[in-house]
Copies of this chain bind each other. A is one copy, B any other.
Amino acid sequence: MPQILDTTDPDFDAAFAALLSAKREDSPDVDNVVAGIIADVRARGDAAVIELTERFDRIALTPETLRFSPDEIAEAIARVSSEDRAALELAAARIHAYHARQMPRDEEWTDEAGATLGWRWSAVSAAGLYVPGGLASYPSSVLMNAIPAKVAGVGRLAIAVPTPDGQVNPLVLLAAHLSGVDEIYRVGGAQAIAAFAYGTRSIAPVDKITGPGNAFVAAAKRRVFGKVGIDMIAGPSEILVIADKNNDPDWIALDLLSQAEHDESAQSILITDDAGFGRAVVAAVEKRLETLERRAIAGVSWRDFGAVITVRDLDEAAALSNRIAPEHLELCVADPEALSQKTVHAGAIFLGQYTPEAIGDYVGGPNHVLPTARSARFSSGLNVMDFLKRTTLSKMTPEALRAIGPAAARLARSESLEAHGLSVLARLDRLNG
């Protein structure tokens, strides 16, 4: 049974605080192992990557077979059914269209002092996308990582995907192909992150690494942060559904289960202003759990981390939602737009009962790589900006320097940075002399 809370309960605050701070993931302390792997890849390059891949993925590679060949990719893609291909193409087109609108503009203006100011955006030269292998190898995640990078104008796009026992998902290769990926390596884990960050003879280094991964990948990304850019440290998936009684309990149950089935550590929460509706959803979840393919995983998630919270009204729901800062937020209420104005801390909002979260996982257009573990308080889902950087521009005329230079010299003086001040004053002396 999930937790059943009611904001009118006297112990609600304590129970809600406990729910918020519940540790859902046992992060094994792999930091020392990862540090060793990174050092090994830095020192021995390809040889280390190949040995580690043999140990962890049980496949024997050479520098030549680290990378998928064009023939291997074409052969795998040919095995994809036309229906799957069409679905992936629709998804790619919609994700592209959404992200194309995110491209920011360069700006330049001249202010009243005569200074010309502005900025210019440019793409990172090379990006590396990590794609988990095995069961959690999702072609949709390839699209969600690669397309924003391509839209941003990244010149070189590489993928690392482990192929345990040689297994590879042809749809992953097709998704990479559709999104314009240049290189695909059959390498995973911390060794893949190290190779992307520092480069080996066969794998050129990249400037930015994105994509989800296990504890080893997460620890490696944290360690190489600074040497390269990273996106975020992803945790288990979450959904919060705010629903009134005018919903089909089974639809809401399926939305909750679509997160729960990801992972035993996933979390699905329902907030409703109608306790009876909450009970109906709990019953609908139980019924679906009788037959769901991934009922073992979803059942554990729902039992350990699921929650149904009854609130007095939707304002209270919005306030709780902001404290949760959910990765995914579904608003199944009469006026979802109005409610969405109040739920400001959320990775992605799905408005109305015809927008199940799963639409956003595949074909809606917005990105499905979203901030977890309450990090929507301070971060955004993956987007085009993640592959761009902004260079600021300033140009002073002699008049502009006369107008604002003395203040700069004064502040440099106050900070005891003499050369800073002199670099301005030497120019002003000439201009004024």
Contact = CB atoms under 8 A, between A and B. Distances in A.
Contact of A293 (B358, B390, B394, B418): B418
Interface stretch (A6-14, A56-64, A119-127, A271-279): A119-127
B361 A229 contact: no
A360 interface: yes
A388 to B, nearest CB: 8
Contact of A171 (B171, B228, B355, B414): B414
B350 A394 contact: yes
Interface in A400-433: 400-401, 404-408, 410-412, 414-424, 426-427, 430
B258 A401 contact: no
Interface string A359-376: 111111111000101011
A396 B355 CA distance: 5
Interface residues of A, number: 125
Q: Copy number of this protein in the oligomer?
A: 2
Contact of A233 (B226, B405, B406): B226
B416 A135 contact: yes
B375 A380 contact: no
A36 to B, nearest CB: 15
A73 interface: no
A117 to B, nearest CB: 5
Contacts of A389: 345, 371, 376-380
B423 A251 contact: yes
B391 A376 contact: yes
B376 A380 contact: no
A69 interface: no
Interface in A159-178: 171
Nearest to A398: B354
A418 B380 CA distance: 27
A347 interface: yes
Contact of A411 (B91, B228, B426): B91
9 contacts: A88-B411, A90-B407, A125-B377, A140-B411, A171-B414, A229-B375, A258-B423, A354-B398, A354-B401
